[in-house]
Chain A
Amino acid sequence: MLSQIEQLTTECLSAIESAKDQKQLEEVRIKYLSRNGSIAELFEALKTVPKEEKPLLGKELNKLRTKAESLFSEKKLSVDDSISQGAKRIDLTLPARKVELGHKHLLTQTLDEIKSIFKGLGFSVYEGPELESDYYNFEALNFPADHPARDMQDTFFVNKEFLLRTHTSPVQVRLMEKLQPPLRAIMPGKVYRNEAISSRSHCMFHQVEGLCVDTDVTFAELKGTLVAFAKQFYGRELNYRFRPSFFPFTEPSAEMDITCFLCKGKGCRVCKHSGWLEVLGCGMVDPNVFAFANYDTEKYTGYAFGMGIERTAMLKYGMTDIRTFFENDVRFLKQF
């Protein structure tokens, strides 16, 4: 009987397999799987075999039936070319129903990227007010009154005491007033300069400030951190240089340049033929600033940095007019 089962298995499965349409398949079903089909006949015959052979033969027979039934239902779907009852033919080429995702502003997206890199480097994120006092914006950052350094930043004043912050650096001072070292934080936000609005400059833009204070922070660590950031943000194949500069609240101060990514350092209009693009200002926190925060300058050292976002985004996305950011034309907003 075992050989009978084996023979039927081969026969039945190949019959199902080779059925070409519904009709043939139905014939196969009647022949093998119906109540009077070949498989049922064998089950009938099973009753008469000796008792000790029953378990094995029963198991084999069951296997055959399960296999045949599953192959049959699979085949049935594949030879079925009829449309479901009640279904209509539709024009699938009509346009899709409109669903629109919203868009974060390109500057927000750029800021998000910068934040996420610095968060990965162990920095916290803090914020501060935009309407600032002269004390936080200038004095505590070591800009003496009547010093030409103040000319570096054209300021919108509300009165003698209050102004729209010209940089995010005042948040450094606020942070140091509030917290004790170790500190490792970035402070993004809007800043304002009273500069004529043109394709290259605007009266409002965004900065990200950075501050790190601890017992043994050095210029070498400042370089290391900013290079790590720049490689993540601008790309691995990056050439950079740190060039001495001046900010009243850092000493020594530097500007970080990276190879112009448009001309790869050969010199072009964007980099003013220097091959370099200035991407941020930085330096070691000036002891005078620590003094305003009552930090012990013999115990702590620190570094600070600040970068503008607009120019970075413009370079990255090939934009030529900074005003585009604040005109809020949805055709621009939806591009990114």
Chain B
Amino acid sequence: MKISLNWLKEYIDLSDISVDEIVSRLTMSGLEVESVEDQNELFKNFIVGYVEERGKHPNADKLSLCVVNNGKEKVKVVCGAPNVAAGQKVVFAQIGAVVPSSGMKITKAKIRGEESNGMLCSEAELGLSEDHSGIIELESSIKEGTTISEALHLNDVLLEIGVTPNRADALSHIGVARDLAAIFQRELKYPSLQLKDSKKRIDDYASIEIADTTNCPRYSAKVVLNAEIKESPEWMKRRLKAIGLRPINNIVDVTNFVLHEMGQPLHAFDLDKLAQQKIVVKKAEPDAAFTTLDGKERKLPDGALMICDGEKAVAVAGVMGGENSEVTATTKNILIESAYFSPSSIRKTSKALGLSTDASYRFERGTDPARTIFAAERAAALMAELSGGEVVNACIDAYPNQLAEKEITLRFAQVKRILGYTIPELKIIAILNALGIKVIKEEKEKITVLAPLFRPDIEREIDLIEEVARINNYDEIPTISKIAIPISEKVDESEFVDELRSIAVGLGFNEILSIPMITEKAARIFGEPIELLNPQGSEMGFLRTSLMASALHSVEKNINVGEKSLKLFEIGKVFKKVNTELNSFDDFVEEERFLFILTGKSTEKEWYSSEKEYDFFDLKSFVNEAFRKKTLDNLLNDSYYHNANKIFDYSFSKSHGKTLLGEGGRVKKAVLKQFGIQQDVFCFEGSVEALKTITGKEKTFSELLRFPKMNRDFAFILEKEIPSNDVVSFIKKKGSKILKDVHPFDLFEHPSIGETKKSVAYSLSYYDPERTLTDEEVDKDFHQLIESVTKAFNATLRGK
């Protein structure tokens, strides 16, 4: 919201307070000043110039060569405007001036070979309007050398204030002035009303009927007769232009002026266009359409509150007037609407129409129902002044649904209990009174106040404490450090994933964070996805059902920038439907998962090694190590799937009992194709929640082995289909108690041993924690195992 300091000063005396002070105190009281535009600063070095001569530029057809008198001397200026002529008074940007619209600094320059000592400006260049058709021509009576700030009355300071949604009361100049009055403890001056007595009675000109009193508790109206519609005077136009509004005509300008003066939105109807000169406030008919005064036909939402005349709708209440009743050049008689509508009703309509106006913005935050008449009278008086019209005596005021000011008690002790410091009672009372919150009863330990209707945000004691705190400046609140809660109570729910993250980083993985909103196609690969009602596009229409679905995008992006070897991990949430309709938290699952991704080369071409691609066993080793670190290795079952499923060509899973912890393998080409990836990718995705349920046994120390291990190796020629792990399990089962580990260490395939055969070598470790083993007992077990393996797998011992 833009606030003009010149305008503001009509309601409060700020003459002895600097702009910096005003800005800083407003910000520190909750009306954040986001930017300050000081026109004196902005238009520094812009002065009135007198064009003494205009000649042609020798080297450019469209440029003129002018001699400009700046009040002190005559300088040469190159100008490109078509309308420049000798004898004009113009806006002259001197060297050093900064053009507001472009930020360009004016320097002495040569333009097409001719010297130029400044620039003649258009309205657009000064940021005053969009008009860039030519330079501004000033009145000839203004003396050259006069500053533009003075000549054009551009000596205002404009504040851009960010008003939070609770501060409906601050959305006007008087509203801001009220806060300043409380801050600086000064008087707030309301505009005075001078209405001439008229012999005419309002009831003869208009009537009002409210059908929906819930959504329209109050509707006041005032009538102005025989107005002459014309341009507003300069002072009015200046006020509106300063805050970025375009002047239209004296009637519309007044409604805008009063809105920005006191926050009450008004609407001016052409009284003669209102059938039966009657206003009816009621809900829109279902499926009705209406043409607003911007010329657009709009479908009205159900239940939209409408202003109607005796026959038809004439305005969307609180949002925008209708084309059929707007004030035009031929309008003579005017009905000024000054109403209070229910905030939620206006908000619903405005949202449904996708139409937010200065009026709806204020109505949906809450205007002041107590001041509708004052606003209507203020507008009527101004209209009469600006249009020569006659104000009909009195107002029509339909106020069927009286709103009452709320009584609130403030206990002084509560101020300290919340803020942590004491504010003197007299100061509390002074602040509240200055804000228009009337103190109606003072007692020893508390006061009772009436919350004014223009402060819908003030309902409770705590709201009053906030008012006092903010006006008294938050800087006054002391800064106290204390730790009051026993540390033994500490919980850290993120510890588990933090550890998982550290493990992944230790294994050399880089962490990614992906947006969980993905395409439907990608989401469907991994489960029944949840759709967003209002996505940013179909590319982001569904929530991920697996981390892979979002992470593969990152893989593709990296490959595209030439990073083809990747070792990535992610920890994040996935979302899946359980039931078709989502009515409760039981109808979907949100699950935290973790993902490992490998693609490209594990080793690049190096002097010590040839290049090597990541493969299944790299994935398996990292996954195993990550799980082992979580102390769970001996509890888990690995399963291997040599055949393809929906996602993987081949894969393995890890589970604990019946709980699946995760699954991974080589991602199918068909899946990768959807993400535009052309190289092999190995992924493992697991459930953090499932992993958490197996806390594992508390780790205990195992005694380090004090007796030597004994090793024996053998190799068998086996059928290729026999999984090597089957042999390992078999050996472990058949071996005696002293056999502690079996590890396959060599794999050999060659036609010389048969096309369907392979040779696998195993290393066996024997030990006993209690004693040193003898060669005899180890050999005995070893030879028995050779025999059993040979028999069980139809294998041949190699080297025999």
Contacts and interface: CB of A to CB of B under 8 A. Distances in A.
Interface of A: 94-95, 97-98, 100-105, 107-108, 112, 115, 119, 121-127, 129-131, 133, 145-149, 151-152, 156-159, 161-162, 164, 182-185, 188, 190, 194, 196-197, 203-204, 212, 214, 216-221, 223-225, 227-228, 241-246, 251-254, 272-273, 284, 286-287, 301, 325-331, 333-334
Given A102-B507, A146-B347, A328 B483 contact: no
A98 B611 CA distance: 12
B348 A126 contact: no
Interface string B481-525: 111110101111111001001001111111111111100000000
A328 B513 CA distance: 7
B492 A104 contact: no
A61 B572 CA distance: 75
B64 interface: no
B157 to A, nearest CB: 15
B463 A251 contact: yes
Contacts of A133: 585
Given A102-B567, A326-B514, A244 B508 contact: no
B165 A161 contact: no
A125 B492 contact: yes
Specify which of A126, A197, A243 lies most central, judged by the most chain B CB atoms within 10 Å of its CB.
A243
Interface in B638-655: none
Contacts of B504: 102
Given A125-B494, A252-B465, A219 B590 contact: no
B485 A184 contact: yes
A329 B478 contact: no
Nearest to A254: B474
7 contacts: A101-B506, A101-B508, A147-B165, A219-B477, A227-B481, A245-B164, A246-B166
Contacts of A131: 530, 543, 573, 575, 588, 590
Contacts of A242: 474-475, 477
A284 B511 contact: no
B421 interface: yes
Given A102-B505, A328-B557, A243 B582 contact: no
A127 B493 contact: yes
A102 B344 CA distance: 53
Best-buried of A272, A329, A331 by chain B (most CB within 10 Å): A329
A331 B487 contact: no
Interface string B534-561: 1110001001000000010010011001
A209 B165 CA distance: 22
B193 interface: no
B533 interface: yes
B568 A328 contact: yes
Contacts of B606: 95, 97-98
B417 interface: yes
Nearest to B471: A244
Contact of A220 (B27, B420, B493): B420
Contact of B492 (A122, A124, A223, A251): A124
B604 A284 contact: no
Nearest to A273: B35
Nearest to B567: A102
B603 to A, nearest CB: 8
B558 A241 contact: no
A149 B344 contact: no
B759 to A, nearest CB: 31
Contact of B483 (A98, A108, A121, A219): A121
B419 interface: yes
Given A126-B491, A157-B532, A203-B517, A301 B417 contact: yes
Nearest to A128: B493
Contacts of B323: none
Given A102-B504, A272-B34, 14 more contacts: A102-B508, A102-B510, A102-B569, A122-B485, A129-B573, A131-B573, A162-B582, A183-B485, A196-B536, A217-B484, A218-B419, A219-B469, A221-B420, A328-B554
Contacts of B419: 218-220, 252
Contacts of B30: 243-246
A92 B784 CA distance: 51
A184 B487 CA distance: 10
A119 B347 contact: no
A149 B164 CA distance: 8
Given A203-B536, A328-B513, A159 B482 contact: no
A227 B561 contact: no
Contacts of A98: 603-604, 606
A243 B474 contact: yes
Contacts of B572: 190
B506 A152 contact: no
A102 B533 contact: no
Interface centre among A156, A203, A228 (most CB of B within 10 A): A156
Given A130-B573, A159-B582, A272-B34, A100 B508 contact: yes
Nearest to A91: B607
A97 B429 CA distance: 76
B417 A129 contact: no
Nearest to B165: A148
Nearest to A251: B462
Contacts of A221: 420, 480-482
B418 A325 contact: no
B28 interface: yes
A329 B563 contact: yes
B536 A194 contact: yes
